[in-house]
Amino acid sequence: MIFRLAAELSLDPGSMVVLFVSPVADARAVAAEAAEAFPGITIVGCTTAGEIAAEGYISDGIVAVAFPREHFACASVLVPDLGDYDQHALALEVIATRARLGRSFPNWTTEFAFTLIDGLSRREDDLNAALATTLGPMPFFGASAADGFDFRQTFVIYKGQAHPNAAVVTLVRTDCDVRVFSLDHLSPTDIQMVVTAADPETRTVFELNAEPAAREYARMLGKDPLQLTAMTFASHPVLVRLGGQYHVRSIQRLDENGNLVFFSAIDEGLVLRLAEPSDIALHLDTALDELSENGRPDAILGFDCLHRRLEIEEKQLNHVMCGILARHKVVGFNSYGEQINSRHVNQTFTGVAIYPPRTITGNDVSAR
C-alpha cells in the first residue's frame, strides 16, 4: 500500500509526507517500507484511533499527507525518550532548525510547527512547556498518537522507524497562508465537582467531592457506576477553567479499582464542571466555514479527539460528518488528545488550514 501511495503522490526529494497509521497495521513495518518508497523525503507520522481521509472518517487504514517541496520547507526533530531528554538541548536543536529554514527560504515568511507525541506517555504538558519558550510566537499545535481502544502502546514515525515513548517536532516554512486553530462544541453547566484525591503523575482521580470518584461522577449523571463506559465519558466530559477559558479534561477509562483515569493533567483542588454539548456537526461545519471567509483553504490538517468520534458514532452522525470533512478538504486522524500552543487539551478538533500559495515578486505578494 505504501508504494501505491508513493506512486500516487509522486513527490520530489525534499518534500515531506505525514503518515497516519491504524494500529491494526505493523507500525514498524510501515515506517521501514515508507523510507524505501519515499527516498529523499522527510517522513513523520504516528498510530491512530481512526483516520480522516479525502472521504471523511475511515478505519483500519493508512493516510498519507503530502507537503511538496515546491511550497513547503520542512524539518523534524525527534525526542527519542520522553522520560529522559535534555530540554535545553532540545531547545537548541529546535532553534537551530528554525534558523536554518529561515536562512534557506528567506522569502517564505509563514511558519508553523506541529508535534506528534506518544499518547500514553503522559508527557504532553512537559513537552509543550519546553517548546513554548523555544518557539515563541510561532503558532504550534499537535496531537497524541493513539492505539485504538487498547491503550497499550502507541508509536511516532521518524526516518524509517516507529518509536514508542517518543515525540517528533516538525517545523514548516511556506509561501502559503495558514491558520492554526482549535475548537470544541462544549459549554460549562452549573454542575461541578472538586477533585479531593488524585495522583497527578498517573492522571488518576480517586475522589470527587470526598466520595469515590466513579460513584460520584455517576451520581452526577444519574447513572449506576457499573454503567460507565467509554461512550459515557465521551458524551459527558468535564471542563476546567484556566486562564479565563474552559478546557476539556476527558476521562480515558475506569481502572480496576474504580478510579477515573484522565487523558490530560489532573490534580487535587481542581474544580470540574460537567459540559453541555451543542450540535457537533453543525458546530464543526460553521467553524470550518469561518476559516473560508477570506478564501477557501486548499487543505486542512486536522487532529480530532477519539471522544468526538465516539460521540458522532453514538448519535449516528458519521455520514453527516464525513460529508462535512470531505467538503472542507480535511485529512488527519483521531487522537488521544491535542495540543494548541502551550496547552494540552482534549475533545477538540485542532489543526491548520492551509490556503493557496502566494507569488512573491520583489516586495509584492499576491495569491494564486
Could you tell me if 195 and 174 lie in one domain? no
Give the end of a domain, one of 226, 243, 277. Answer: 277
- The verdict on 156 and 250 lying in the same domain is no
pLDDT tens figures, 227-243: 899 999 999 999 999 88
Model pLDDT, residue 131? 94
Per-residue pLDDT of 77-99, as tens digits, reads 999 999 999 999 999 999 999 99
Residues 64 and 197 in one domain: no
How far apart (Å, rounded) are the C-alpha atoms in residues 183 and 357?
25
Which triple of cell numbers denotes residue 307? 471522544
Mean of pLDDT over the chain: 94
Distance CA 337, CA 144 (A): 5
Q: Please report the pLDDT score of residue 362 as a whole number.
A: 36
Same structural domain for residues 28 and 154? yes
pLDDT of residue 366: 29
Name the domain count of the chain.
Answer: 2
Tell me: do 11 and 81 sit in the same domain. Answer: yes
Q: Which pLDDT score, from 0 to 100, does residue 368 have? A: 27
Please tell me the predicted confidence (pLDDT) of residue 245. Answer: 87
Whole-number pLDDT of residue 342: 84
Same domain, 146 and 203: no
Give me the pLDDT at residue 243, please: 80
Contact 122, 201 (CB under 8 A): yes
Identify whether residues 110 and 161 lie together within a single domain.
Answer: yes
DSSP string across 173-228 = EESEEEEEEEE--EEEEEEEEEEEEEETTTTEEEEETTEEHHHHHHHHHT--GGG-
Cα angle value 189/183/346 (rounded, 5°): 70
pLDDT < 50 regions, the chain: 360-368
**Is 173:165 a contact under the CB 8 Å cutoff?**
no
- CA distance linking residue 113 with residue 115, whole number of Å: 7
> CA-CA-CA-CA torsion for 89, 18, 138, 309, nearest 10 degrees?
-110
- Tell me the chain's radius of gyration from C-alpha atoms: 20
CA max distance for the chain: 68
Dihedral over alpha carbons 255, 246, 117, 67 (to 10 degrees): 140
For the residues of 318-353, what is the DSSP string, one character each? HHHHHHHHHHTTEEEEEES-EEETTEEESS-EEEEE
Please give the Cα distance from 224 to 194 (Å, whole number).
20
> Does residue 147 sit in the same domain as residue 177?
yes
Q: Is there a single domain that holds both residue 245 and residue 297?
A: no
Enclosing domain of residue 65: 2-181+281-367
- pTM, two decimals, is 0.92
Q: Which of 277, 309, 344 is the C-terminal boundary of a domain?
A: 277
| Residue 137 CA to its chain's centroid (Å) | 19
Of 259, 277, 295, the domain-final residue: 277
Contacts of 293 (CB under 8 A, 6+ apart): none
Helix (H, G, I), strand (E, B) or coil at 125: helix
Both 54 and 98 in one domain: the answer is yes
pLDDT of residue 302: 98
Residue 175 contacts by C-beta under 8 Å, 6 or more apart in sequence?
A: 71, 107, 108, 110, 357, 358, 360
Tell me what percent of the residues of the chain surpass a pLDDT of 70.
Answer: 97
The model's pLDDT over 44-61, given as tens digits with 9 standing for 90+, comes to: 999 999 999 999 999 999
- CATH classification of the domain holding 222: 2.40.30
pLDDT of residue 359: 57
Q: Indicate the helix (H) or strand (E) that contains 275.
A: strand 271-277
104 & 170 share domain: yes
302 and 160 within one domain: yes
Nearest-angstrom CA–CA distance, 233 and 109 = 42
pLDDT tens, position by position, 157-175: 999 999 999 999 999 999 9
- For residue 192, what pLDDT is reported? 95
Cell numbers linked to 113? 510547527
The set of residues, in sequence order, having a beta carbon less than 8 Å from that of 284 and lying 6+ positions away, is 183, 185, 321, 324, 349
